[in-house]
């Protein structure tokens, strides 16, 4: 009788150990899945093209605070046309510079108007007391319209139209989704590869719903022949792609 009771106690002890081990394993698996869900990239949310300019304070011998902005293309050519705003404050264009003669120290969002086919990336000017000089890069802007159709094509063809731009150009894609499906559009190095690690130029668009329109702007900085394609399911393999060349 005592041997039977001893065997029963041993069996219960082993059962309790197995249950405890299984519980620990479930916790580990659950925690791993949770961490993976947090670290996995979320498709359709590109990193914002934000450039924060470095402000060079040239003098602090005056009590007034000024901001002078100079715009350059990547090849070093100056841009002197158009009108710039620091938040809602308009500039005074003096000697090919965008001059703000009286500001309060702080952060100002710069916007450029009155000049076509030029892209000023979102820029925040950090203004310190004194005279602040800020050099900012602007880019030639090339714009293309892509129409996704119910036949799983772009602009009615498979593949879609060839897009070719010079290097150091800002590319603006206007994507019209004339289907009931959803799309992500991106420039990729390997055709049909839907991994976000395959995306170039920070070009992954937000998700565009059926019947919707999306505008996506990015800057190309690498020469070669690439592709634009949908990153959802097998849409690229079914025809939602085209050639994208940077010269």
The alpha carbon dihedral of 171, 174, 200, 38 has a sign of positive
**pLDDT tens digits for range 25-71:** 444 334 333 333 333 333 333 333 344 444 444 444 456 899 999 99
Q: Bigger pLDDT: 16 or 27?
A: 16
Q: Residue 96 — very low, low, confident or very high, per pLDDT cuts 50/70/90?
A: confident
Residues 154 and 107 both lie in one domain? no
Q: Are residues 196 and 151 in the same domain?
A: yes
Predicted pLDDT at 25: 40
Give residue-wise pLDDT tens across range 121-179. Answer: 999 999 999 999 999 999 999 999 999 988 889 999 999 999 999 999 999 999 999 99
- pTM for the model stands at 0.73
In the chain, the number of structural domains is: 2
- Same domain for 111 and 147, yes or no, is no
The model's pLDDT over 179-224, given as tens digits with 9 standing for 90+, comes to 999 988 999 999 999 999 999 999 998 899 999 999 999 999 999 9
Q: Which of 92, 109, 137 is the last residue of a domain?
A: 137
Residue 13 within a domain = no
Task: Provide the domain limits for residue 91.
Answer: 51-137
Give the distance between the most distant pair of CA atoms in the chain.
106
- Whether residue 169 is found in the same domain as residue 242: yes
Provide the pLDDT confidence category of residue 231 given band limits of 50, 70 and 90. very high
């Amino acid at each position: 009788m005592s041997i039977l009771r001893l065997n029963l106690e041993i069996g219960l002890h082993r059962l309790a150990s197995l249950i405890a081990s299984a519980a620990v394993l479930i916790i580990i698996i659950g925690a791993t899945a949770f961490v993976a869900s947090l670290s996995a990239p979320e498709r359709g949310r590109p990193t914002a093209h934000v450039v924060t300019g470095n402000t060079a304070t040239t003098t602090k011998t005056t009590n007034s605070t000024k901001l002078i902005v100079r715009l350059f293309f990547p090849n070093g050519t100056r841009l002197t046309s158009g009108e710039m705003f620091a938040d809602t404050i308009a500039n005074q264009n003096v000697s090919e510079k965008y001059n703000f003669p009286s500001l309060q120290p702080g952060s100002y969002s710069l916007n450029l108007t009155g000049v076509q086919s030029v892209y000023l990336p979102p820029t925040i000017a950090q203004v310190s007391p004194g005279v602040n000089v800020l050099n900012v890069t602007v880019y030639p802007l090339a714009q293309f319209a892509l129409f996704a159709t119910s036949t799983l094509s772009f602009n009615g063809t498979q593949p879609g139209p060839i897009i070719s731009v010079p290097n150091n150009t800002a590319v603006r894609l206007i994507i019209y989704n004339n289907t009931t499906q959803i799309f992500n559009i991106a420039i990729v190095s390997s055709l049909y590869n839907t991994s976000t690690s395959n995306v170039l130029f920070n070009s992954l668009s937000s998700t565009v719903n059926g019947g919707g329109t999306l505008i996506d702007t990015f800057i190309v900085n690498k020469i070669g022949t690439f592709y634009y394609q949908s990153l959802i399911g097998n849409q690229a393999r079914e025809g939602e792609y085209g050639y994208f060349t940077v010269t």
